[in-house]
């Protein structure tokens, strides 16, 4: 089983990337959060979850271990396959997932494509006791804040609606928020994102 890949990020798409490891290109599916953190054309490492099916061996990549742990937990819930788990991790960071589950915030979960009201209730019910011991991610304190307001998702949606590719826009939004902080207004994030995309 493949547990980690280190290689050149050859291509970035909306929900996957190609990692060139010594001339062999591995197709790795990932959340938009992980894809945004990858440097296109440069060497990077990805933690890998390998799933073997009858017709394929599929690789899922994660920039940090907290996201991989959440992927594993989410896929234990009935109705949550790998694709839906990645959609959830694209919509919510591990920290936001913990906050949403502990607050019983069904609305945050249904923001992820493929998660309807029934599945959101099942996630809240089955994961409520497990969420407290799950990792929150790099640099996050275990003290749980209120669920995030979704400025990252809103800015990404605006840039995609303006015609930019999701992976590219996601990367730019993450950089802008990292540079200016999460407390800035949506209009500033979009404006700064457009400046970067225009270069």
Q: Tell me the per-residue pLDDT of 178-191, one tens digit each, with 9 for 90 and over.
A: 888 777 888 888 88
pLDDT band, very low/low/confident/very high, at 147 (cuts 50, 70, 90): very low
**CATH number for position 112:** 1.10.150.20
Question: How large is the average pLDDT for residues 129-150?
Answer: 56
On whether both 175 and 194 belong to a single domain, the answer is yes
On whether both 112 and 167 belong to a single domain, the answer is no
Is residue 127 pLDDT above 90, yes or no?
yes
pTM of the predicted structure, to 2 decimals: 0.67
Is residue 138 pLDDT above 60, yes or no?
no
Question: How large is the average pLDDT for residues 17-38?
Answer: 94
Quick check: is 142 in a domain?
Answer: no
Is residue 149 pLDDT above 50, yes or no?
no
pLDDT value of position 141 = 30
Mention every residue, 6+ apart, whose C-beta is less than 8 A from residue 145: 95, 99
pLDDT value of position 12 = 92
Q: Which tops the pLDDT comparison, 151 or 22?
A: 22
Is residue 145 pLDDT above 70, yes or no?
no
Quick check: is 103 in a domain?
Answer: yes
Gap between the Cα atoms of 21 and 10, Å rounded = 10
**CATH number for position 183:** 1.10.8
Total structural domains in the chain?
3
Is residue 146 pLDDT above 80, yes or no?
no
Is residue 10 pLDDT above 80, yes or no?
yes
Task: Out of 75-84, 107-116, 146-155, pick the least confident.
Answer: 146-155
On whether both 57 and 108 belong to a single domain, the answer is no
On whether both 44 and 72 belong to a single domain, the answer is no
Question: How large is the average pLDDT for residues 83-101?
Answer: 92
Gap between the Cα atoms of 37 and 33, Å rounded = 7
Across the chain, mean pLDDT equals: 86
Structural domain boundaries, residue 34 = 4-62
């Amino acid at each position: 089983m493949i547990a980690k890949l280190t290689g050149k990020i050859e291509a970035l798409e909306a929900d996957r990337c190609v990692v060139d490891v010594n001339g062999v290109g591995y197709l790795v599916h990932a959340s938009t959060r992980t894809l945004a953190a990858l440097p296109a054309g440069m060497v990077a490492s990805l933690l890998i979850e390998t799933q073997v099916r009858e017709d394929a061996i599929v690789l899922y990549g994660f920039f940090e271990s907290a996201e991989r742990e959440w992927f594993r937990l989410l896929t234990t819930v009935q109705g949550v396959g790998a694709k839906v788990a990645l959609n959830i991790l694209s919509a919510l960071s591990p920290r936001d997932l913990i906050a949403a589950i502990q607050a019983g915030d069904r609305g945050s979960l249904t923001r992820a494509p493929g998660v309807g009201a029934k599945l959101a209730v099942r996630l809240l019910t089955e994961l409520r006791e497990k969420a407290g011991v799950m990792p929150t991610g790099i640099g996050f304190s275990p003290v749980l804040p209120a669920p995030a307001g979704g400025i990252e998702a809103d800015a990404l949606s605006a840039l995609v609606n303006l015609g930019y590719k999701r992976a590219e826009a996601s990367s730019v939004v993450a950089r802008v928020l990292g540079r200016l902080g999460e407390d800035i207004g949506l209009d500033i994030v979009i404006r700064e994102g457009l400046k970067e995309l225009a270069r």
